[in-house]
Amino acid sequence: MLNNLADFAKKASMAQDRRQFLVRAGCLLFTVGGARLWLTPAEARSRGADLQVLDAAQTRTLEAFGEILVPGAAEAGLAHFVDSQLAADPNDCLLVTRYFNIEPPYLPFYAGTLAGLESLSAERHQRAFAALGEAEAVALVRELGAGTPRGWSGPPAELGYLVIRSDAVDVVYGTVEGFRRLGVPYMPHILPPRPW
Amino acid sequence: MARDHAQVVIVGAGAAGSVFAAVLAEAGRDVRVLETGPVRRLEDFYSSQLWARRLKWAVPHVAETTRDPVWFNLNAGRGYGGAAAHHFAVWPRMHADDFKLRSTFGKGLDWPLDYADLQPWYDRVQDDVGIAGDAAAEVWRPPGAPYPLPPVPRFAQGEVLAKGFTASGLRVAPIPVAVLTRPYKGRPPCIWDGWCEAGCPTGALANPLATYLPRATAAGARLQPGCHVTRVLTDAGGRRATGVEYVDDKGSRRELGADVVVLAAFGVENVRILLNSAGERHPAGLANSSGTVGRYLTCHPSVFTFGLFDADLQNYMGLSGGQIISHEHWAKTGREGAFGSRQYEAAMALKPNDLLGIAMSRADLFHRDLERFMQRAARGLGQMVAVCEDMPLAENRIELDERRDAHGLRLARIHYRTSPDGLGLWREAVTEGERIMKAAGATEVWHGPKVAQHLMGGTIMGKDPAASVTDGYGRAHDVENLFIGGGGLFPTSSAVNSTYTIHALALRAASRLRDDQAALRTR
Ligand SMILES: Cc1cc2nc3c(=O)[nH]c(=O)nc-3n(C[C@H](O)[C@H](O)[C@H](O)COP(=O)(O)OP(=O)(O)OC[C@H]3O[C@@H](n4cnc5c(N)ncnc54)[C@H](O)[C@@H]3O)c2cc1C
Ligand code: SF4
């Protein structure tokens, strides 16, 4: 049986999938000041790496939304994580959208949810979501999670809440660092590419 | 130029396909397996819920139009090993009464075989892959060879929840799993770290990459990744399959001739291929003279019940599939509006994120409330799931959608509503599950929404060619050399996880095919 297993692994690797996957031991590929660097999303954020898909306004809203959903998400690199995955081949994408029968490319879904949140914030408070006080932001997000808020336009608000909440949970708790935050052992068989 | 040809062409390198491939390649047949997804190796299975998502389909090629979603993308898998590459390996046997619902109870459908027909194949599969369990503790277990491996251990969560069951008058047993508790046939034992959902890279869990696929390739079966089968081709009379049409990894449309075709592409895709294979002789789809291709789709209506405990439950230890099981509620009758059986699985190893993770158990919480919950639940959350039987209804079906895939073929569309009996069983499980959690000492108890597990039906087997798609071996009534594998064959759902039965049926059919020269006659 052991021989079979080894043989199988060898044959499988000879027939390797041709698709290039943008990951190398630990990191994802980001561009900083014109140079391509392998960084973790948290590092990418702190070094101001370029985003490939999300624009500056979407990034601001995503980070603010993520921070209200799961404190620590912005610093953990939520925007760089989502951005890098939106840029990936759908078959290699690590986003939870894969479960939800959402047709790739996933950008319109994210863009629509973030734009919907901004319109809601403008309508209710005449300010950008990122400029809201904590209590105001929490109240708005609560409406999203409970269903479609009055005046909402965009993809189903509840789904947007679930997906982006899940992304934020992924970066804050779904990593080796995240397990440490919760005081539980990670116990990997194969350590995933850092930091996921 | 002569068309490429193989004696046996298998569509899909998952649970059923890998069994057919191993048996037929070991018998010296020229076997080709066409797999739409990529190559996967055990060492690709990173311990991470995020990376595990690569094992799923990315493009939703199934439209779900009805109120009760069957969650195709969650239940299916893509690439070597299929969904079974990252399945949890909870492997109970179906019970004798599951096979004879119509004749015994006047409900649902009959299978064309009995438990006694399948028992030797359950036993053989168990010996091939290694199953851990405690047959004596499973007082409900149908007859069969003793488990080859001792049962899974209990960690604190298992101990605590077992007390809740006992206090509620329900017996439990160690969960029967195709996971090694000792070294077995060259594979190492489990180390109880709970990463099964991300794919077990050690070979301790019986996923096809650790069991039948290595046997198949060692015996010379050729696996072709990135090959998406679109249609089964037939001769002019439409009674014999001549091969398959597929799109290869470079996007070229090709044909592969075959003496025998085995469809093992997961229930939904098998139906889609058959319907897309419609031709002059079979305008309603191949193997569909009965009109039942796509019909009688079932799944297990399930509910996850959660409890928060003050104690450290060591809930990060164990298996994704749990530590204990109960079939105490097997009796199918005696409940008003809720005919059928129910199974409980409890004490799953939990991870913080993903759809079945800790944070999603309270999707309503966010911000500081979520932070507080996570800190507490990381060690204090207990979980169980009730798996309920579903009744086969003809109107629950897979059919073709108007939308087309990248290859121009119509996508699948699912119409499904939980059967009234399934819903009745589910409702009872919600109430009882919470009672069990409370009896176990949980300080807070809640349950999740109705979820669908294990898709079955769509290409059901039966004795009557006018009312079913295949015979008891999965051979299409209408096409003598076309076999089907997988849960799509199940006329009824039972309340047990389907993959053990999928293996037993595939082993039985493949062995028959191996010994049946007529089916394998050369061109
Ligand atoms: C998270 C999870 C946990 C589970 N846990 C359990 C459990 O504990 N116990 C249990 O009994 N079951 C469990 N299951 C279910 C189990 O995985 C399935 O029952 C089983 O894998 C189905 O076997 P199959 O051979 O029909 O399909 P699969 O194993 O999915 O194989 C089908 C293969 O066909 C390929 N394919 C599809 N379309 C085409 C095409 N057109 N051309 C070529 N190839 C194609 C797919 O890529 C796939 O590799 C679980 C499933 C999941 C997702
Ligand atoms: S818990 Fe056991 S079966 Fe699951 S991944 Fe770890 S070693 Fe494999």
The DSSP line for B480-510 is: TTEEE-SGGG-SS--SS-SHHHHHHHHHHHH
CA–CA distance, B208 with B218 (Å, rounded to integer): 14
pLDDT of residue B271 exceeding 50, the answer is yes
- pLDDT category, B3, cuts 50, 70, 90? confident
pLDDT of residue A3 exceeding 70, the answer is no
CA–CA distance, A156 with A44 (Å, rounded to integer): 30
pLDDT score at B290: 98
Ligand 2 within 6 A of CB of B191: yes
Minimal CA–CA distance to B425: which of B325, B492, B343? B343
CA–CA distance, B117 with B298 (Å, rounded to integer): 23
Nearest CB to B58 within list A4, A7, A98: A98
Token reading at B348: 């799953």
Quote the mean pLDDT of chain A: 83
Looking at the DSSP bridge assignments, the partners of residue B223 are B33
Nearest CB to A190 within list B45, B358, B363: B45
Which residues are CB-neighbours of A21 under 8 A, at least 6 positions away?
A88, A89, A92
Task: Name the residue ranges covered by the structural domains of chain A.
Answer: 2-176
A192 vs B39: CB contact, 8 Å cut-off? no
Cβ atoms of B40 and B280 closer than 8 Å: no
Looking at the DSSP bridge assignments, the partners of residue B476 are B470
Cβ atoms of A85 and A93 closer than 8 Å: yes
- pLDDT category, A100, cuts 50, 70, 90? confident
Partner B contacted by A184 (CB < 8 A)? yes
Rounded to 5°, the CA angle B432-B438-B441 comes to 150
pLDDT (average), residues B22-28 = 98
Cβ atoms of B55 and B40 closer than 8 Å: yes
Quote the mean pLDDT of chain B: 96
What is the count of residue pairs from A and B with beta carbons less than 8 Å apart?
A: 192
CA–CA distance, B9 with B4 (Å, rounded to integer): 11
A178 vs B353: CB contact, 8 Å cut-off? yes
Kindly give the distance from the C-alpha atom of residue B152 to the centroid of ligand 1, in angstroms, as a whole number. 24
pLDDT (average), residues B142-146 = 98
Backbone angles phi, psi at B451, to 5 degrees: -125, 155
Using a CB-CB cut-off of 8 Å, the residues of chain A touching B78 are: 91
CA–CA distance, A69 with A171 (Å, rounded to integer): 12
Statement: the pTM of the whole predicted model exceeds 0.90: yes
CA–CA distance, B273 with B279 (Å, rounded to integer): 12
Which residues are CB-neighbours of B394 under 8 A, at least 6 positions away?
B292, B295, B296
Pick left, alpha or beta for residue B405 (phi over 0 → left; psi -120 to 50 → alpha; otherwise beta): beta
Cβ atoms of B505 and B485 closer than 8 Å: yes
pLDDT score at B197: 95
CA–CA distance, A100 with B59 (Å, rounded to integer): 10
Encode pLDDT of A107-162 as tens digits.
Answer: 999 999 999 999 999 999 999 999 999 999 999 999 999 987 998 989 999 999 99
CA–CA distance, A23 with B494 (Å, rounded to integer): 43
pLDDT score at B148: 98
pLDDT score at A50: 80
Q: B273-283: string of b/e by CB count within 10 Å (b at 16+)?
A: bbbbbeeeebe
Encode pLDDT of B297-345 as tens digits.
Answer: 999 999 999 999 999 999 999 999 999 999 998 999 999 999 999 999 9
Token reading at B165: 């069951």
CA–CA distance, A99 with A80 (Å, rounded to integer): 21
Token reading at B299: 């799944």
Nearest CB to A7 within list B73, B210, B218: B218
Minimal CA–CA distance to A109: which of A145, A121, A101? A101
Interface ipTM:
0.94
Looking at the DSSP bridge assignments, the partners of residue B344 are B326, B386
pLDDT score at B406: 86
First-last CA distance in chain A: 32
Using a CB-CB cut-off of 8 Å, the residues of chain A touching B202 are: 189
Among A50-64, A71-85, B61-75, B450-464, whose mean pLDDT is lowest?
B61-75
pLDDT score at B39: 97
Q: How many CB atoms lie within 10 A of CB B334?
A: 8
pLDDT of residue A101 exceeding 90, the answer is no
| Chain A residue whose CA is closest to B63 | A101
Ligand 2 nearest atom to the CA of residue B205, by list position:
3
Domain B2-514 in this protein, CATH class: alpha beta
Q: How many CB atoms lie within 10 A of CB A182?
A: 17
Ligand that lies nearest to the alpha carbon of residue B20, given by its number in the listed order: 1
pLDDT of residue B516 exceeding 90, the answer is no
- pLDDT category, A30, cuts 50, 70, 90? low
Please tell me the residue having the least CA distance from ligand 2 atom 7. Answer: B190
CA–CA distance, B199 with B8 (Å, rounded to integer): 28
3-state DSSP assignment of residue A129: helix
Minimal CA–CA distance to B398: which of B455, B466, B475? B455
pLDDT of residue A38 exceeding 90, the answer is no
Q: CB-based burial of residue B195 (10 Å sphere; 0-12 exposed, 13-18 middle, 19+ buried)?
A: buried
Q: How many CB atoms lie within 10 A of CB B70?
A: 25
pLDDT score at B146: 97
pLDDT of residue B86 exceeding 80, the answer is yes
Distance of alpha carbon B159 from the chain centroid:
28
